Amino acid sequence: MTLGLLVEEAGLFSTVQDLGRQGFQSLGVPPSGALDPVALRLANLVVGNPPGCAGLEMCRLGATLRVTVPSLRVALAGAPPTGDLPVLRSLTLREGEVLRIGRVAGGAAYLAVEGGFDLKPVLGSLSTYARALIGGFEGRRLEPGDVLPLLRHTASSRRERALPHPLPAERDRPLRVVLGPQADHFTEEAFDALLGEGFTVTAEADRIGLRLSGPRLAHAGPPEIASDGNATGAVQVPGSGQPIVLLPDRHTVGGYPKIATVITADLARLGQSLPGTVLRFEAVAPEQARIALRRQEAEIAALAARLHET
């Protein structure tokens, strides 16, 4: 029997994800990867992994995992568990111990394991694309009884480490977007509505996208285009006028006009959106997107410099 992490309860939608699959969109394979890539990087930092090491992403409801190796060091990041498990602080579990994560306060929590999972990359990545059964653990979300194989069977002997705090969540701040690429397919009122009012994330929310409900975004012409390239964060608007924000398991190309696209620095925040969350959008110039990303990377570097032993 494989030794590793035995899944006793799988949670709602738990998959192995790294920072995404690159280079296969031209074959129709989406990037996938962590909904909140910043959280995955921080979890890896705390257990001493490279930032892009694959971890376990758990959407809304965490898994219950039993350790079946002699010892294992782990760290949680992203949406914090509502129980008393710490985030951004490593802990070492012994054989037989159970990590019960339970409900998490946000869209996605990440579990990094020291050394990483003993899984085979598919098309250069360990990210799971469940729709096509690619990558991760058997290409799918976890189920009770699965055993995630581990590269290390004993934790390293160093002290536990922690970060002082997560990056500021900035929940109430609007998501910054660059308008377009199909800006000319929408009326002026559509832009006023997009940038003026809030949109609620509906229950139709998964790793492919978030369907929003709010003021109708009116097209200036037909609500379809000949398919063109998609990107994570793109806000596409079908004929209903109710937008869908695309997430990492999106199609590589799509036939709905895209009114705006969320900037890279705000994708982690977007990825944490839960049904019921109200999203607001703010238009920025590409140069501002660049400054925002540089600032975010500086904040991550400053935080990483405060990694300390406990």
Partner 1 sequence: MCAQPAAPPALLHDPPRLLLLGDAALTVEFAAAWSPEAAARVRRLAARVAVLAAAEEGIREYVPTLRSVTIHVDPSRLSLRRLQAMLRDLPEGAEATAGEATEWCLPVRYGGEQGPDLPEIASTLGMAEDEVAELHTAGHYEAAAVGGYPGFAYLTGVDGRLALPRRASPRLSVPEGSVAVANGFTGVYPATAPGGWHLLGRTPVPLFAPDRPGRPALVMPGDTVRFRAISPEEFEGLWSAFRDGRADPVTACRAP
26 binds partner 1 (CB under 8 A): yes
Rounded distance, CA 71 to CA 194, Å?
50
Rounded distance, CA 93 to CA 72, Å?
5
> Is 283 in a helix, a strand, or coil?
strand
The binder of partner 1 chosen from 71, 92, 242, 264 (CB under 8 A): 264
Cβ-contact 181, 257 below 8 angstroms: no
One-letter identity of residue 120: K
Rounded distance, CA 187 to CA 233, Å?
21
Q: Segment near partner 1 (CB under 8 A), from 3-11, 60-68, 72-80, 250-258?
A: 250-258
61 binds partner 1 (CB under 8 A): no
The binder of partner 1 chosen from 205, 262, 270, 303 (CB under 8 A): 262
Rounded distance, CA 286 to CA 160, Å?
41
Rounded distance, CA 32 to CA 85, Å?
27
Write the binding mask 129 to 168 for partner 1: x where contact by CB under 8 A, - elsewhere: x--x-xx---------------------------------
Cβ-contact 242, 216 below 8 angstroms: yes
In whole angstroms, how close is the CB of 243 to partner 1 at the nearest point? Answer: 15
2 binds partner 1 (CB under 8 A): no
The binder of partner 1 chosen from 3, 123, 274, 283 (CB under 8 A): 123
Of 117, 115, 100, nearest to 56 by C-alpha is: 117
In whole angstroms, how close is the CB of 67 to partner 1 at the nearest point? Answer: 30
The binder of partner 1 chosen from 6, 38, 72, 122 (CB under 8 A): 122
Q: Segment near partner 1 (CB under 8 A), from 96-104, 151-159, 212-220, 289-297?
A: 289-297
Rounded distance, CA 177 to CA 226, Å?
23
| Residues near partner 1, by CB under 8 A | 22-29, 122-123, 129, 132, 134-135, 177-182, 225-231, 233-234, 251-253, 258, 261-264, 286-287, 289-290, 293-294, 297
